[in-house]
Structure 1
Amino acid sequence: MKLHKEDIERLERAYRLNLINSISGIKPANLIGTRSSTNKENVAIFSSVVHLGSSPAQLAFIMRPQTAIPRDTYPNIMETGFYTINHVSEAFIEKAHYTSAKLLKGYSEFERMKLRPEYIGDFHAPFVKESPVKIGMKYEESIPLPNGCIFIIGSVQMIICPDDIINDLGQMNLESYAGVGISGLNTYYGFKKLDSFPYVRENEIPEFNEKI
Structure 2
Amino acid sequence: MHWTKEAIKALDFKFRLNLINSITGIKPANLIGTISESGTTNLAIFSSVVHLGSDPALIGFIVRPTGEIPRHTYQNIIANGLYTINHIHESFIERAHYTSAKFASEESEFDMCKLTEEYLAGWKAPFVKESKLKIAMEFMESIPLKRNNTIMIIGQVAHIFIDDIAVNDKGRIDLAALNDVGLSGLNRYYRLEEIAEHPYARVNELPDF
Match of residue 42 from structure 2? 42
- Answering whether residue 145 of structure 2 is matched by residue 142 of structure 1, we say no
1:22 aligns with 2:3: no
Question: Is 1:68 aligned to 2:68, yes or no?
Answer: yes
Q: Tell me the SS of whatever aligns to 1:175.
A: coil
1:5 matched residue in structure 2: 5
**Aligned residue identity for 1:131:** S
Q: Which runs of structure 1 show a deviation greater than 4 angstroms over 4 or more consecutive aligned residues?
A: none
Deviation at 1:39, TM superposition (A): 1.1
Counterpart position of 2:206: 205
Deviation at 1:36, TM superposition (A): 1.1
Query: How far apart, in 2, do the equivalents of 1:173 and 1:121 lie?
Result: 24
Gaps of 5+ in 1: none
Cα distance in 2 for partners of 1:3, 1:46 equals 27
> Following the alignment from structure 2 to structure 1, what is the Cα–Cα distance between the partners of residues 11 and 185?
16
CA distance in 1 between partners of 2:175 and 2:87 (Å): 10
The structural deviation recorded for 1:121 is 2.4
The aligned length equals: 208
After TM superposition, the structure 1 = structure 2 runs for residues 81-100 of structure 1, keeping only pairs within 5 Å, are 81-100=81-100
CA–CA separation in structure 1 for the residues paired with 2:71 and 2:204: 51
Letter in 2 for 1:145: L
- RMSD over aligned CA atoms reads 0.7
Aligned to 1:153: 154
Identity of aligned residues (%): 55
TM-score, scaled to structure 2: 0.98
| Alpha-carbon offset, residue 69 of structure 1 | 3.7
Q: 1:181 aligns to what?
A: 182
